[in-house]
Structure formats: C-alpha cells, structure tokens
Structure 1
Amino acid sequence: MDLERVLKGSPWTFNNHVLMLHWPEKKEDPLKVPLIFACFWVQIHEVPPSFYIETLAHQIEGFLGNFLEFDGTNLGKGLCTYLHVREQLDVRRPLKMKNKVMFSVVACSYVSFKYERLTLFCFFYGRLGHSDSFCQAKMALGFDVAEMGWDLSLRAQSRRALALAVYGYEKIGKG
C-alpha cells in the first residue's frame, strides 16, 4: 500500500530535483534500469467544453509521453477548465507546450499543456534537471540569450491552490 502511494504520488523531489523511481520486475537487473522517466500530472487546457472526454486524452497519447491515467473526477461538476492526465515523461526530451488536436472531422485547434509540480527546469531548451542559469548549451553560445523557448506558463497551479481559489470565490459570492 505504501509502495503504491509513493509511486502514484510522484514526482518526488529532493532539493528541487526530480527523483526517478522504478519498481523492478522479477529478474530485472536494477543496475541496468535506465532512470530516464518521471511521472507527472498534466493539465490539458483550451479544450472545448463538449470534448472533456477520455478519448481526447488518448488522442494526445504518445505526444507527451506514455499515457498512464485519466482523472475525470471533476468532469460534470462545473469546476473543470482542463483535462487531467497522468503521463510518464522521458526527462531527456523537452517538455511540450501545445499540440494541434482534431476535435471533429472538420474542426481542429491547439491545446496547451501545464505540468503539475514542475521542478527545476531549463527555459532555454525545455528540459528538466537544471535551470537556464546553469545550462551548458546556453553557456556554449557565449552570449546572453534574450528570448527563451519556454516560460512559466508550463507550470500548473497546484490543485490545492485551485481548490482554495474556488472556495474563496464561492465564499465571496455568498458573503
């Protein structure tokens, strides 16, 4: 039970660095396990309300990483402004900001992604593990880069903060 809680509660961090966790299968050599995957809850924003469905989450499968879970608990309650999926991401690859999605045979649009509990992150080339202040690729250029490819819009507000904001809004509305 504790093991499941730890694995489902990821990403875990230490000093703002992601801890890579892997539960080895039988006869799997722990020394040969590549620790390159981390699990994140990802919010999919800018989805038309009639498409808040699990099939849309599966349509994005493979674009972000490996699809693990769909959270539909807030759907239909009027509070949901995004789709909520859990993805296993390869930390060697840049995080995705948006993707073009087909909503019907004739309609397509872009959806944007926000990552919950996003840790140390490089705004220069979009990868986890270091900040742009210590990015070797940026330092190799030898000059200050004015425009970064990524920004803080990738960081999702925590679910607790969102719940408190909704609670505060309801309280003000009733008060």
Structure 2
Amino acid sequence: MEGVLQGGPWSFDNQMLIVQRVQLGVQIENIPLQHAEFWVQVHNLPTGLMLEKVGKALGNYIGLFVEYDKNNNQGHLQKVGDPV
C-alpha cells in the first residue's frame, strides 16, 4: 500500500488517478481527492541557488512544498503537491 501511495502520480487510460488511504467507516463521498504530488526538476538553476530553502520557495510558488531530495547530488529535485 505504501508503495502505491508514495510511488505516484499514477494514470489510467491517460487520466490522472489520485489515490488516498481510506479510514474504516468513512463514506467514500467524504474523501477529498483534490491533491496530487509530483517530483519537479528545476533546470539551469545557478549552483549557488541549489539550496533546500530555494527548493522550498520554488515548491510553494508552484503549489505546496512537500519534500526536498537531499540525496540528489545536483540538488534540484523536490516533491510538490498541487490541487487538481
């Protein structure tokens, strides 16, 4: 289950498929499916700006910053959540 939730975004028949964990007893119509997370790669960013705080600012400008990939040696991958 975690692999599906963390591994997206997913598509089916060329349409975005938004998945979310469902709590037992919750009515399906009460589950908000309006948010998807994407990894965003920024190109041509000057080396001096490849910082986590810059990534957070860019992520929040695009949508809602979620996560910064500290293991990326080029320092320009970030996960951003955006309403769909």
Greater length-normalized contact order (CA 8 Å, ≥ 6 residues apart): 2
SS class of match (2:61):
coil
Listed one character per residue, the Cα deviations across residues 58-97 of structure 1 (whole Å, up to 9, x for unaligned) are 112422122111112222xxxx3x6101111112xxxxxx
Structure 2: distance between partners of 1:26 and 1:64: 33
The residue type paired with residue 83 of structure 1 is H
TM-score, normalised to structure 2, is: 0.81
Pairwise CA RMSD = 2.0
- Counterparts of 1:8-157 in structure 2, within 5 Å, are 8-24=6-22, 28-75=26-73, 80=74, 83-91=76-84
Listed one character per residue, the Cα deviations across residues 75-122 of structure 1 (whole Å, up to 9, x for unaligned) are 2xxxx3x6101111112xxxxxxxxxxxxxxxxxxxxxxxxxxxxxxx
What residue ranges of structure 2 are gaps of 5+ in the alignment? none
8 A Cα contact 2:59 2:79, kept in partner: no
Segments of 4+ in structure 1 off by > 6 A?
Answer: none
Structure 2: distance between partners of 1:63 and 1:17: 25
8 A Cα contact 2:68 2:77, kept in partner: yes
Length, aligned pairs only = 84
Structure 2: distance between partners of 1:27 and 1:49: 50
What residue ranges of structure 1 are gaps of 5+ in the alignment? 92-175
Structure showing the higher strand proportion among its residues: 2
The residue type paired with residue 60 of structure 1 is L
8 A Cα contact 2:59 2:78, kept in partner: no
8 A Cα contact 2:42 2:76, kept in partner: yes
Equivalent residue, structure 2, for 1:113: none
TM-score, normalised to structure 1, is: 0.43
| Structure of higher CA gyration radius | 1
Change (3 A) 1:58 1:27: farther
The residue type paired with residue 7 of structure 1 is L
